[in-house]
Amino acid sequence: MKNLLYRIVCVAACCLATGAQATLLTFDPPLEVIEVDDVTSIATYKEGGFRITGDAASYLPLFGIGTGGSDGLLVFANNPITLTAAGGGVFNLLGLEYAVIDAGFGLAPNATLMVSGVLTGGGSLHQILSLDDLGFDVSTFPVWINLTQVSFAANADFVLDNISAAPQPIAEPSSLALVGAALAGLALARRGRRAGQRHPWMQRKRV
């Protein structure tokens, strides 16, 4: 009985732990996945189950400006953009690559990129990243979980590339029921064992 319950718990845990794979937003190919609302002038970029929204004049996917000459997302100074799951669900931000870019006006001194995340419980996370050179940086950004959205804003033109994000899995009702049954069984088994300890006469004697 104990081994059976143990197996049930393991199977249920595997079902609950199985989640969606991380998505890498590479902004390749660009332009074909941008939708602009003619009324609000809000542009929406979609890729891999995620979307980036912002003013139509605030960002633009371009060829050759990303990591290693790949495609990337050019975001203009003082124009925030927002990352959300396409279905509006909870997701984790696992990493991103970013760099300042000289759009022809020279590099801004003391340029910084502010990344802000909104948590499911209503709290928020903030990370200030330095944009002090033209190289891409990936090492200073932490992993964020339980997010409903992430915004990016800088006081200089910058590039985003290879944003790694993963939607959080939603447990299926069957998996939840399996976990509940297993836990209930374990509770009953423990209660029976304790009852046997309180009443020695109920235990079998070894011969």
- Give the C-alpha separation, 92 to 164, whole Å: 9
Q: Cβ contacts of residue 68 below 8 Å, gap of 6+? A: none
pLDDT at 11: 42
Q: What is the pTM of this model?
A: 0.72
Read off the pLDDT of residues 144-155 as tens digits, 9 standing for 90 and up: 999 999 999 999
pLDDT at 33: 75
pLDDT profile of the chain (207 residues), mean per 10 = 44 44 86 85 95 94 90 95 95 94 74 96 93 73 94 95 88 47 50 50 40
pLDDT at 31: 60
Of 144, 145, 93, 147, give the one whose Cα is nearest residue 122. 147
pLDDT at 134: 67
- Give the C-alpha separation, 84 to 52, whole Å: 7
Read off the pLDDT of residues 49-62 as tens digits, 9 standing for 90 and up: 999 999 999 999 98
pLDDT at 5: 44
pLDDT at 202: 35
- CA angle in degrees (0–180, nearest 5) for 99-110-106: 65
pLDDT at 78: 94
Q: Cβ contacts of residue 60 below 8 Å, gap of 6+? A: 30, 73, 74
pLDDT at 52: 97
List strand residue ranges (DSSP E) for 28-186, in order: 34-36, 42-47, 50-55, 59-62, 72-75, 81-85, 91-100, 112-119, 124-130, 144-154, 158-167
